[in-house]
Amino acid sequence: MKFIHAGDLHLGNPFGGLSVTPDWLTDKLQSATETAVHRLVDDAITAAVDFVVLAGDLFDSTTPDARAQLDLVKELERLATANIPVYIGFGNHDYVVDWQRLPTFPKNVTLFPEAVTTYDLQTQNHETVAISGFSYTQRHITTDQVAQFPMKANQADWHIGVYHGAVGEVGSGNYAPFNLQALQDKHYDYWALGHIHVRETLQAKPFIGYSGSIQGLDKTETNAKGYYMVESDGDELVPTFTPVAPITWVTANLRTNRDLSTVVQYVREQFAAKDEFELITLELITEDPNVLSAIVNQQLLAQFVAAAQPTDMFFIYDIQAQTQDQQMPLPAVDETYWSETVADVFTREQLQKLGLKQVTDVAVLDHFLNEQTLQELHTAVQTQLHLAQMGDEYHVD
């Protein structure tokens, strides 16, 4: 018995965090998730899997782009042609507002309804598989969904749970909060989880875990992305990660003392040989003040963007300056004064006060009201303080 566990396709979702994308890159980006799904389907057909499980967030919204829907339907039809059943639960992003308004899926597709439902199927080797799952019909599910899942079916050789959600406390979590123990207590052979974009194993045996997103769509979703090819091995279901994402987000550290005139050329040479396309945050370790300055004022990034070629297998979308001495203390006053004021400075209220209140764009607001963004801002300010400190050293009157 063999199946594919994937989730969080977020079809039709743009790549976030790229301020400038040349046309050739835009084309690449737009086809990336589709390419990943296409590869998944290719693999499913080649491996002649018994079925495919998609654990939610196929689309980024409840009103996805028609092309994204048609593309998924096209891919599902390929699976239909190969007689591969597909089990889909909708997640918090693509929760079902109106079942009637879903695209017309081919016959091989089984959509989990709102209530936890179990479907049975027979594999090519005449093993019986029970698959239990549910779909979101609202953005948030705060109730205990696990309780709805039946205990492992006695008559089934394998029982698989399909669950889109996150570990959390019932009542406080918004995404079908569950605890690991509750999942374990169902004695399933495999829990195909969705929602968390980072591949994560909550329990190795029997497997409970996230396959992660199929294509990283912003800088937080770094490294290889794909799906789990799950195969039975004795009485176990063993997932093997298979990367299919054609574009990978990476952070690259590079140390150089090249000056501003040669640094672009040098860095580009370092990234010349890539198998899959990479979106790179470049952490440039340099002491060259001009380069550092060019990093801070975004000039260096602009140079990289200008130098980017359609034949490149990488694109540098962000450059961070790294000084050699990371442990450098903050200037002027004792560290305690800096650290004791952090909590007062890096707050949402402060951001609101400083201008965020003027911002109405939800995505931007979301970004800046995020705790992590505050953390990032903190780090960035620290870096800037260091740079200012260093800049002062180099300051020439």
Partner 1 sequence: MWIKKVHIVGFGQFNEQTFDFVQGLQIVQGLNEAGKTTLHQFLFDMLFGFPQAKGRKINTYEPLNKGPYGGSMQFEVDGQLYELERLGRTQTATTLTAVATGQQFADPEAMLTKLLGPVDRDLYLAIFSFDQAALMNIFSLKPDDFASYLRTLATPGAQNWLEVANRWEKTATAKFGSTKTAHRELNQALANLKTQRQQLQNKIRQQPSLDKLQAEAQHLSQRVTSLQQRQEQIQGQMSHQQAQVHLVPVYRRWQQIKQQVKATGKSLDLTVADKADRVRQQLAALDEVMVTTAVTKQQVESATVALRQLEKLEKQQQTLAEQQVKSVQAQNELLEKYHWTQIPPLLTEQQKARLGGQRETTQANSDYRWLIVAAIICVVVIIGALLAGHWMIGMLLAVLVLVISWWGSRRPEQTKTTLNGSQDLPAAYQQMSANDIFAVQADIQHINDMMSSNNQIIHDQQAMMPELVKVRATLNWLGEGLTVDEYRKRLADIHIKQETMGQQQLQRANLQQTLQDLYQELGVKDAAMLRQRRDAQRHINDLQREANVLEEQLKDADLHELAAQTVVKPDDQSEADEQQHILKRIQDEKNQLNQKLAEINVQLQNLQTDNTIEHQQQVVANQVAVVNQQLTQYFVDRLGSEWIRQALNAAIADRLPNLLTQAGVILSQLTDNHYQTIQQTKTLLKVVRDDGKILGVNQLSKGTAEQLYVALRLAFVKTVAAALQLPLLIDDAFVDFDNQRRQTMLNVLKDLASSEQQIFYFTAQKTPGEQVLELTHQQ
Question: Which residues contribute to the site for partner 1 (CB under 8 A)?
Answer: 12-21, 26, 29-30, 63, 65-71, 74, 100-104, 298, 329-334, 337-338, 340-342, 344-346, 350-351, 354-356, 358-361, 363-364, 367-368, 373, 376-378, 380-381, 384-385, 388-389, 392-393, 396-397
Q: 346 is written with which tokens?
A: 């890096």
Residue 353, CA distances (Å) to 338, 356, 366, 393 in order: 20, 7, 16, 33
What minimum distance in Å lies between the beta carbon of 320 and partner 1? 12
**Nearest to partner 1 of 121, 330 (CB atom):** 330
Q: How many CB atoms lie within 10 A of CB 355?
A: 9
- Least separation in angstroms between residue 90's CB and partner 1 is 15
How many Cβ atoms are within 10 Å of 377's Cβ, its own excluded?
15
Q: Which helix (H) or strand (E) holds 6?
A: strand 2-6
Q: In Å, what is the CA distance from 203 to each residue of 190, 310, 321?
A: 10, 42, 38
Provide, rounded to whole angstroms, the least separation between the CB of residue 182 and partner 1: 36
Q: Which CB sits closer to partner 1, 132 or 248?
A: 248
First to last CA, the chain: 74
Alpha carbon distance 199, 89 (integer Å): 18
Question: Shortest gap between Cβ of 88 and partner 1 (angstroms)?
Answer: 17
Say whether the peptide bond before residue 246 is cis (omega within 30 degrees of 0): no
Nearer to partner 1, 147 or 342 (CB): 342
Q: How far is the CB of 377 from partner 1 (least distance, A)?
A: 5
Backbone angles phi, psi at 16, to 5 degrees: -95, 155
- Give the Cα separation of 17 and 280 in Å (integer): 11
Taking the least distance from each CB to partner 1, the nearer of 313 and 356 is 356
Burial of 253 (0-12, 13-18, 19+ CB in 10 A): exposed
Question: Least separation, in Å, of the C-beta of 246 and partner 1?
Answer: 16
Choice between 83 and 347, CB closer to partner 1: 347
As measured in angstroms, the least distance from the Cβ of 99 to partner 1 is 11
Nearer to partner 1, 8 or 71 (CB): 71
Least Å distance between CB 148 and partner 1? Answer: 29
The residue among 272 and 343 lying less far from partner 1, judged by its C-beta, is: 343
Nearer to partner 1, 68 or 129 (CB): 68
Dihedral-angle region of residue 8 (phi above 0 means left; psi in -120 to 50 means alpha; beta otherwise): left
